[in-house]
Structure 1
Amino acid sequence: MTELRWLSDEEQRTWRAYLHATTLLEDHLDRQLQRDAGMPHVYYGLLVQLSQAPEHRLRMTQLAKDLKITRSRLSHAVARLERHGWVRREDCPADKRGQLAVLTDEGEAVLRRAAPGHVDAVRQALFDRLTPEQAEQLGAIMRTVAEGLQPQGPDADLPWLR
């Protein structure tokens, strides 16, 4: 049995600072989107994923995988977005058991209205606090962490890791 490698004092401070900062950042962005766009951050992320997909549609299973949420949570989110008229579901033509989530024109318009405020919130909360060198280092660090944790396989590639 290998000996447990405890975090050093400096590693512990770094870990706790990371947890604290990411919790505060997620809360800040969620509150901004709720206030300005009437949606939580996870719904915004869902709309963004659909807006970047070919023909603004993705299989529900792929969308859940990309967002790292359960299919049940995704189904609940899509149902709420359907009620707003921002997303609709379609049967998958290639697989009768599958469903597609499709961004509607109204959903795209909502996303276009929400994006400037969200980008401004991200910029103020993160990038305006960093030097260009720190932002570059943060990006390199996060890509390294993500690459190490990313599931392997033919469909595991995510474009933001490049």
Structure 2
Amino acid sequence: MTLLHDESLTAEELTVWRMLQRAQMRVTRHLEAELLVAHDLALASYDVLLQLAEAPERRLRMNDLAGRVLLSRSGLTRLIDRLQRDGLVEREACASDARGLYAVLTDTGAARLAQATPTYLGGIRSQFLDLLAPGEIEQVRVMLAKLAALDLTGAP
């Protein structure tokens, strides 16, 4: 007996969807574990530090940062609280908007990011890229570009 009564997806389509979810979860869990063990840095924290490092002047408005890291505003606020306590980021008021805040990467945060990046990149290589042939990497890129084009949030 099937729990799905809607015939709008074939068994193969549903299987592919579940495989995509499991693959993403497997890679994410591996990266998270490696970063925590080696650098005491959660994957979401790494992502925030990376986004800030890539931004002009190592700063982003909190709303922009929330969209880039796919966290809710409240989730990002809690994460930034922790990163600020650890000295990895600072908050700065926005001169043009009294209600606006910037998250700013500190030198300590940049150093932690630099230490963690080889672990992060190594995990991506071992858990994802090394499992694909060069032609398959291009195929995945094309497929993911189609899926990413559906993103209506404005995130890059």
Where do residues 13-162 of structure 1 align in structure 2 (5 Å cutoff)?
13-151=15-153, 156=154, 158=156
* Alignment partners' CA distance in 1, 2:87 and 2:76: 16
* Cα deviation 1:50-94 (Å, max 9, x = unaligned): 000000000011111211211111111111111111100000111
Query: Is 2:61–2:101's contact at 8 Å kept on the other side of the alignment?
Result: yes
Q: What amino acid sits opposite 1:118 in the alignment?
A: Y
Query: The residue matched to 1:69 in structure 2 has which SS?
Result: coil
Task: Report 1 or 2 for greater relative contact order, CA contacts < 8 Å, sequence distance ≥ 6.
Answer: 2
1:36 alignment partner AA = A
User: Once superposed, which parts of structure 1, at least 4 consecutive aligned residues long, lie more than 3 Å away?
Assistant: none
Alpha-carbon distance in 1 for matches of 2:112, 2:86? 10
- CA deviations on 1:3-44 (whole Å, 9 max, x unpaired) are x65211221221111111111111111111111111110110
Please list every run of 5 or more consecutive structure 1 residues that lacks an aligned counterpart in the other structure: none
Report the Cα offset of residue 124 of structure 1. Answer: 0.2
Count, aligned residues:
151
TM-score (norm 1): 0.89
In 2, Cα distance between the equivalents of 1:157 and 1:49?
12
- Matched residue SS, 1:124: helix
Gap runs ≥5 in structure 2: 1-5
What letter is aligned with 2:97? D
Report the Cα distance in structure 2 between the residues aligned to 1:8 and 1:110, rounded to whole angstroms: 46
Identical-residue share of aligned pairs (%):
35
SS of 1:97's equivalent? strand
Q: More displaced, 25-34 or 41-50?
A: 25-34
Measure the CA separation in 1 of the matches of 2:11 and 2:61: 45
Whole-Å separation in 1 of the counterparts to 2:128 and 2:152: 24
Q: What RMSD, in angstroms, separates the aligned Cα atoms of the two structures?
A: 1.2
The one-letter code sitting in structure 2 at the alignment partner of 1:115 is T
Distance 1:19 1:104 in 2: 34
